[in-house]
């Protein structure tokens, strides 16, 4: 089992190494990668590619990995495909919460079934999601079954918010929004508390924006932020030091690491790169951060800005960057 954060780092580091290869090596890797991706889509194996091209990458995890399972946060499609191709093993995503004893469902259909049931809430959360949507019904995900806790200890108010009982079945309201495909597959598409309605009426999924932009080599971490009284999204960015220094050199921007991260011209250059990455990821224009603040310090559990699983603590990040929020929204 590997955290999504670790898989993203492996993906970006390997792809950076690929970019540093000679033209012939890079072409060979790209051809082998695309060929294997096509073969996997048809259910075929590629032992020759595995041994000649991907053996070195696979050795990063010991060379004998039989299956990889990601949990803790959504894994981007690009990272999942990369891990599947380069580590020569199935890559699954697990979904569950503490309240469901960890297990909810898993993207791989083989193996032991979990003792739970998943349904979609019949009421529509904000954001334009409806249980009647076709061909994929969408709504809040509920989980029920013997693995679901009976409630929060001595916290009836919270129990009222997160649990519902129907026909003798106890259901936990996850706060996640999903869609069910015709083949029965469940796809997590949003988080209720991450949805923000902009002043013009568009709904922005902050988690979606972050997941798409995290694959950019220039970004080590990002927190998207939007105020419902404003017209656009902003972002706090922990840049990758190596790539930022190269970018600064390219644009003749000089200074210490802290000075670069506090440089308005550097922010504009990074914003251009982020905008290009967002458009490549097919984000809508209103989802793309229009202004950013660079952070010279990484966000770690010790700083109190992320959890032990490296999930963003949005309220703490908002407090830390409150002055920057006011500046980026024209207050200063």
Same domain, 185 and 214: no
Same domain, 89 and 113: no
The CATH number of the domain holding residue 219 is 3.30.300.30
Rounded to an integer, what distance in angstroms lies between the CA atom of residue 238 and that of residue 115?
40
Same domain, 82 and 112: no
Beta bridge partners of 186: 180
Scanning 122-215, the segments in alpha helix (DSSP H) are 156-162, 206-213
**Helix, coil or strand: residue 197:** strand
Q: How confident is the model at residue 179 (pLDDT cuts 50, 70, 90)?
A: confident
pLDDT for residue 112: 47
**pLDDT-wise least confident of 14-28, 68-82, 104-118:** 104-118
From the number of C-beta atoms within 10 Å of its C-beta (0-12, 13-18, 19+), residue 325 rates as buried
Long-range contacts of 31-34 (CB under 8 A, 24+ apart): 33/85, 33/86
The CA radius of gyration of the chain, in Å to the nearest whole number, is 22
The CATH number of the domain holding residue 139 is 2.30.38.10
Same domain, 104 and 7: no
Q: Can you give the pTM of this predicted structure?
A: 0.74
Mean pLDDT of 219-246: 96
pLDDT for residue 286: 96
pLDDT score of 127 more than 80: no
Mean pLDDT of 135-141: 87
Sheet architecture: strand order including 291-294: 219-226, 233-239, 291-294
Same domain, 202 and 294: yes
Return the half-sphere exposure (C-beta side, CA atoms, 13 A cut-off) of residue 81.
14
Domain end among 93, 125, 153: 93
pLDDT score of 82 more than 90: yes
Token pair in block for residue 178: 């999903």
Mean residue pLDDT across the chain: 89
Beta bridge partners of 140: 177
- CB of 289 within 8 A of CB of 234? yes
pLDDT score of 235 more than 50: yes
Which domain, by its residues, includes 203?
198-328
Same domain, 324 and 212: yes
Same domain, 215 and 245: yes
**Helix, coil or strand: residue 218:** coil
Same domain, 236 and 297: yes
Number of independent structural domains in the chain: 3
pLDDT for residue 297: 96
Domain end among 192, 211, 231: 192
pLDDT score of 113 more than 60: no
Same domain, 67 and 89: yes
Same domain, 82 and 186: no
- CB of 218 within 8 A of CB of 241? no
The C-alpha angle 198, 206, 319, rounded to 5 degrees, equals 90
pLDDT per position as a tens digit, 11-67: 989 998 999 999 999 999 999 999 999 999 898 999 999 999 999 999 988 988 999
Same domain, 211 and 287: yes
Q: How confident is the model at residue 123 (pLDDT cuts 50, 70, 90)?
A: low
Beta bridge partners of 2: 70
Q: Which has the closest alpha carbon to 145: 176, 113, 170?
A: 170
Same domain, 256 and 306: yes
Domain end among 172, 192, 212: 192
**Helix, coil or strand: residue 173:** strand
């Amino acid at each position: 089992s590997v955290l999504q954060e670790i898989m993203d780092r492996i993906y970006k580091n390997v792809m950076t190494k690929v970019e540093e290869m000679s033209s012939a090596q890079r072409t060979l890797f790209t051809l082998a990668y695309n060929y294997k991706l096509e073969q996997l889509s048809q259910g075929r194996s590629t032992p020759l590619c595995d041994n000649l091209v991907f053996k070195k990458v696979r050795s990063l995890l010991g060379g004998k990995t039989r299956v990889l399972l990601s949990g803790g946060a959504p894994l981007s499609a690009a990272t999942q495909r990369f891990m599947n191709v380069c580590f020569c093993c199935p890559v699954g995503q697990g979904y569950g919460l503490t309240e469901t004893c960890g297990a909810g469902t898993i993207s791989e259909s083989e193996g032991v079934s979990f003792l739970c049931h998943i349904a979609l809430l019949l009421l529509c959360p904000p954001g334009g999601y409806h249980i009647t949507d076709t061909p994929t019904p969408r709504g809040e995900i509920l989980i029920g079954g013997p693995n679901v806790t009976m409630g929060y200890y001595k916290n009836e108010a919270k129990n009222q918010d997160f649990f519902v009982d129907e026909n003798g079945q106890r259901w936990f309201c996850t706060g996640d929004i999903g869609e069910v495909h015709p083949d029965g597959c469940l796809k997590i598409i949003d988080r209720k508390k991450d949805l923000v309605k902009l002043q013009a009426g568009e709904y922005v999924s902050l988690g979606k924006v972050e997941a798409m932009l995290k694959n950019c080599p220039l970004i080590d971490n990002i927190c998207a932020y939007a105020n419902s009284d404003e017209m656009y999204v902003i972002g706090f960015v922990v840049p990758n030091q190596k790539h930022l220094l190269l970018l600064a050199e390219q644009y003749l921007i000089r200074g210490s690491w802290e000075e670069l991260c506090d440089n308005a011209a550097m922010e504009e250059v990074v914003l251009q790169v982020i905008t290009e990455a967002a458009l490549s990821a097919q984000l809508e224009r209103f989802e793309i951060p229009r202004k950013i603040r660079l952070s010279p310090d990484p966000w770690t559990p010790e700083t109190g800005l992320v959890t032990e699983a490296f999930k963003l603590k949005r309220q703490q990040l908002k407090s830390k960057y409150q002055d920057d929020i006011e500046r980026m929204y024209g207050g200063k």
